[in-house]
């Protein structure tokens, strides 16, 4: 159980760091078009993103992979001990 918690925490930390780094790079490389800036001057609504569901799906997929590989490793260890 301790290994699982360490895995989830380290996966979450690495995932969030990668998200921050990619957001930083995308923000630095963003060049707005002139037509959007002229049209946007008349509009005053700004949208600041949406909920981050991909993180939850990635975490569940990683958790499933972790559990599956541990089960497979346990089965291999048991069969090696028998033979």
The runs of H, that is alpha helices, within the chain are 2-29, 34-40, 53-82
Range of the domain at 19: 2-32+52-82
Question: What global pTM score does this model have?
Answer: 0.53
Q: What are phi and psi of 68, to 5 degrees?
A: -65, -45
Looking at residue 8, its pLDDT comes to 79
Q: Note whether residue 67 is domain-resident.
A: yes
Looking at residue 55, its pLDDT comes to 77
Q: Note whether residue 6 is domain-resident.
A: yes
Q: pLDDT by residue for the chain (83 residues), tens digit each? A: 777 777 778 888 888 888 888 888 888 888 776 765 565 555 556 566 665 667 778 888 888 888 888 887 888 777 777 76
The two structure tokens encoding residue 53:
């569901």
How far is Cα 62 from Cα 7, in angstroms, rounded to an integer?
Answer: 9
The two structure tokens encoding residue 65:
């992979």
Structural domain tally of the chain? 1
């Amino acid at each position: 159980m301790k290994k699982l918690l360490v895995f989830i925490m380290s996966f979450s930390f690495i995932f969030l760091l990668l998200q921050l780094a990619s957001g930083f790079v995308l923000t630095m490389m963003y060049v707005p078009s002139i037509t959007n800036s002229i049209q946007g001057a008349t509009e005053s609504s700004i949208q600041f993103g949406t909920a981050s569901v991909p993180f939850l799906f990635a975490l569940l997929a990683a958790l499933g992979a972790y559990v599956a590989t541990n089960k497979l490793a346990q089965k291999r260890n048991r069969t090696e001990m028998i033979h």
